[in-house]
Structure 1
């Protein structure tokens, strides 16, 4: 039986800001691979490089050195047009700030990336995702009419409906109360367990990370621990 390729891979990935005496190394030759169908947490103190690593793996920033892949697509070296296509087709994003369009209702926000990409939404898959997230009766509500936890679930639904290779979540519970945060983490956990999704989450919260399959810890731009639960 063939071995599935990793969902995400980094090889000697580095990021340096500035040059000369003012150069700051945010990420220092990091190599790792993240398996498909796993929930991975990236942790570390402020300035450890955890958000930089996520942004490089997600194609949101440009590496100074090294290489990164999502599935079999190498991100490093792609021009803007091809990188945009990979992000659109293979990557889902969940951010601390939700990034919902305030003038659109929940349904419109969920399908917006597919609409922009000129794709039709799979109605059965949409209904399954929305139902699993408890959003069926909130689809006509705008973000201002939803709680923070509900807004974040809309953001998760938006990512899942695209059927991405991987969902990158950057502090997804950072602006939520403890109960709403626990609900969103439960949603991400179920997306892995029930839908086989791959999730990579940056968090500073040990309680949030405790529900993950794997925890990668960074310090001073390097991996200092890699623990499987």
Structure 2
């Protein structure tokens, strides 16, 4: 049962405000949410709903205006910059839409980069398992410009997992990929949860991508308005249509 394990991350009364006065925008408005360990969670909502802001605050990439953010049992809103940087490096993995690979490094070097920065060596058996799972064994010596978009994103996924983080945050990881490459990445993320017990939180606008997850959390206007378990693309799309009138014709 998901509820039997403590959450990998949680937010309490989380608010994020940009700007001041009449230009003020309340991107998040008192969000409380548990992100269960060993689960694949999608965060969805219309454009401007606050889904990326929620992920960036939960991951410690952006500072909350008010509220608490926990990774495990650590309230990261109370950490100084250096401690927060160390926590993100050691306990959190990231996958971004734009891959964020270093062009002068080959695939293996990109995968190992977070560990190199931390002065740590990879667990050889874990590295082999991750590389095998993402299907990049024969591409490790290739630089990013010699890889397809899907291969580059799989390198980014492997980089996120190689340090055995407690939680991985993925921001539109299939946003720049064609449907075949996107399916490869999603299948890998799904397998990393099922086979390795990884915890993944993914922001996406794509019902097909979200259908790979265990749970979908819906945001609108900076608040959580619904969630869905055992999601299908059809059920997700129907729910999104109610939140976003622009999808009515979809």
Q: Same fold (TM over 0.5)?
A: yes
Instruction: Name the counterpart of 1:194.
Output: 195
Name stretches of at least 5 consecutive residues in structure 1 with no aligned partner: none
How large is the Cα RMSD of the aligned pairs? 1.0
Instruction: Name the counterpart of 2:19.
Output: 18
Distance 2:99 2:139 in 1: 16
Q: Deviations over 1:70-126 (max 9, x none)?
A: 111211121110000110011000000000000000000000110010101111110
The total of aligned residue pairs comes to 228
Deviation at 1:4, TM superposition (A): 2.6
For the pair 1:89 / 2:113, whether they are aligned, the reply is no
Q: Deviations over 1:144-189 (max 9, x none)?
A: 0000000000000001111001000000000000110011000100
| Richer in helix (by share) | 2
For the pair 1:50 / 2:46, whether they are aligned, the reply is no
Q: Residues 197-216 of structure 1 correspond to what in structure 2 (within 5 A)?
A: 197-216=198-217
Secondary structure class of the residue paired with 1:7: strand
Distance 1:84 1:90 in 2: 10
Instruction: Name the counterpart of 1:106.
Output: 107
Deviation at 1:11, TM superposition (A): 0.2
Q: Provide the TM-score with structure 1 as the length reference.
A: 0.98
Bigger shift: 190-199 or 13-22? 13-22
Deviation at 1:3, TM superposition (A): 4.2
Instruction: Name the counterpart of 1:61.
Output: 62
Instruction: Name the counterpart of 1:156.
Output: 157
For the pair 1:226 / 2:222, whether they are aligned, the reply is no
Q: Provide the TM-score with structure 2 as the length reference.
A: 0.90
Instruction: Name the counterpart of 1:41.
Output: 42
Q: Deviations over 1:171-215 (max 9, x none)?
A: 000000011001100010000001000000000001110111000
Contact in 2 for aligned 1:73/1:86 (Cα 8 Å): no
Secondary structure class of the residue paired with 2:52: helix
Deviation at 1:64, TM superposition (A): 0.3
Name stretches of at least 5 consecutive residues in structure 2 with no aligned partner: 231-250
Ranges of 4+ aligned residues in structure 1 off by more than 4 Å:
none
Q: Deviations over 1:50-72 (max 9, x none)?
A: 00000000000000000001111
